[in-house]
Amino acid sequence: MRHARVLQPNEKDFSAPVAINEDDGHRRFYLSVPAKFLISLLVAVAWTMLSVYLSVPWLDELSQVIGRGFAVALILFIAYVPGFMNAFLISTILLDRRPARQRPASFPPVSILVACYNEANNIADTLTSLSRQDYPGDYEVLLLNDGSTDDTVAIAKDTIANLSNHNPRARFKIVDYPQNAGKAAVLNRGLDLASHDLVVTVDGDSWLYLTALRRIVERKLSDPPNTLAVAGAVLVRNSRTNWITRVQEWDYFHGIAAVKRMQSMYHGTLVAQGAFSLYEKQALKEVGGWPECVGEDIVVSWALLERGARIGYAEDAMLFTHVPEKLKQFALQRKRWSRGLMEAFNHHWRLLFKRRMTTLFIWWNLLFLPLDLVFTFAFIPGIVMALFGIYYIVGIMTIAVLPLAFFWNAIIYRVQKKMLTKQGLRVRRNPIGLFSYVVIYSLVLQPVCVGGYIAELIGLRKHWDTK
């Protein structure tokens, strides 16, 4: 995907907007959200039942080798559960119609918290992109330096001093903490300093597309009243660096974006990610702010969900972030994400028994542990066995799911491409990344996730693991 184009000075327009309704102009038969949920659930159940019926020969053959119980468990997490998830996701995306985004007559002021540690290479770009937002309201940018040992602060001061033609409504302030305290701690300090009721978090190695702030606020104001947070769309900026960044481009563009679309449709995006999200300040205060853990964004999101809040998703409020460029860094990041998921369950397990549509996705996340374990210790060895002509685990039935995978990817690609096209962006050619994402990615990702689960279960020391 092409990087966000830099806004030129003569392109800026900070005049007060008029109320608009951004849809595609077509009237559609209306289905309520619960009706869509029921339809998607029925489709997923039907697909799973068909899978069970078709897999009986496979189950019988595998049972002769490892016993009925183990055979059922393996096929359950190799085929049935993933099939249910994919069918539900496809149905939801096909039924999804983003609610119209209403542009208000006036925009509320916003506080933007930029927590950073040793971001000398990126902070200038982040601040520059923030200065060029087309947001018609006032906003303050609090740069929270968490004890950086490089030139982050000096570069930030020079950048702010040299910002010309930036939005006159923007105000920048550097808050320099000499001692590193961790991301959660520095964000909570920033929350106390924030002047406005709406708070946005932005990572210090990012580039916000020029409409990002306006669109995420519009989504918040257009969504139901109990929407206390909105996740923005995070895409990859350094996707052309090497193989691992090319793969992550498809993960963010396809996988992560699709899951957030699905979850938000049923009123509960599970993670308002720290890289780019909007929150109501008072709601954050009521749940105690960001907790001191490696998965502070998912844990605080689940705290809001446990209180009955709705978390939305602004699929067209785009931020481009730098992703890990080395396999080790990538593994450490995803290991941290896995530990964050377990922290969320540890703090907010009651969500498993809360009556709302998104409870399905809480259970869904709970199944990631057995899914990743079976994939790592059964499916991957099954691939090796298949290379030697032993098809008990990986065989014809495995190949039979490829059409569903192709269909799923085609749908997500079409939806995401349409969203980018509306904003004057295009999907760049990345065949190597796509092939690696479809064929190789899970072989690396899921064993890494298992490592994260094990590290959390046995209580290994936690690190941020990015620098």
Tens digits of residue pLDDT in 407-433: 777 888 888 888 888 888 888 788 888
Boundaries of domain holding 44: 35-98+359-457
> Is 339 inside a domain boundary?
no
Q: Are residues 112 and 155 in the same domain?
A: yes
Kindly report, residue by residue over 40-69, the tens digit of the pLDDT. Answer: 999 999 999 998 998 898 899 999 999 999
| Better-scored residue on pLDDT, 56 or 467 | 56
Residue 10 placed within a domain: no
Please say if the pLDDT value at position 366 is more than 70: yes
pLDDT at site 5: 33
Entry pTM? 0.88
Predicted local distance difference test score (pLDDT) of residue 324: 94
Q: Are residues 303 and 383 in the same domain?
A: no
Q: In terms of domains, do 412 and 445 share one?
A: yes
My answer on whether 195 and 128 are in the same domain is: yes
200 plus 311 within the same structural domain? yes
pLDDT for the residue 76: 93
Res. 336: pLDDT tops 90: yes
Mean pLDDT of the residues in the chain:
88
Q: Is residue 30 part of a domain?
A: no
What pLDDT, on the 0 to 100 scale, is given for residue 164? Answer: 66
- Does 387 score more than 70 pLDDT? yes
Which pLDDT does position 416 carry in this prediction?
A: 86
Residue 166 has a pLDDT of 66
pLDDT at residue 25 tops 60: no
Which of these three, 275, 300, 325, is where a domain ends?
325
How many structural domains does the chain have? 2
In tens, the pLDDT along 121-134 reads: 999 999 999 999 99
Q: Same structural domain for residues 305 and 410? A: no
CATH code (residue 166): 3.90.550.10
Residue 293 placed within a domain: yes
**Listed residues 279, 302, 325: the one ending a domain:** 325
**pLDDT score recorded for residue 302:** 96
User: Is 214 in the same domain as 291?
Assistant: yes
152 and 80, same domain (yes or no): no
Do residues 114 and 188 share a domain?
yes
Span 282-324, pLDDT tens digits: 999 999 999 999 999 999 999 999 999 999 999 999 999 999 9
On whether residue 342 sits in a domain, the answer given is no
- Picking from 153, 115, 452, the residue whose alpha carbon sits closest to that of residue 277 is 115
Tell me, yes or no, whether 262 and 116 share the same domain: yes
Q: What is the pLDDT of residue 392?
A: 86
Residue 177 lies in a domain: yes
Asked if 200 and 318 sit in the same domain, the reply is: yes
Examine the fold and report which residue of 325, 341, 369 is the final residue of a domain before the chain moves on. Answer: 325
**How much is the pLDDT for 400?**
65
In a domain, 25, yes or no: no
- Condensed to tens digits (0 to 9), the pLDDT of residues 221-264 reads 999 889 999 999 999 999 888 999 999 999 998 889 999 999 99
List pLDDT tens digits, range 181-202: 999 999 999 999 999 999 999 9
Q: Are strands 227-236 and 310-321 parallel, antiparallel or unpaired?
A: parallel
Same domain, 89 and 129: no
Residue 3 lies in a domain: no
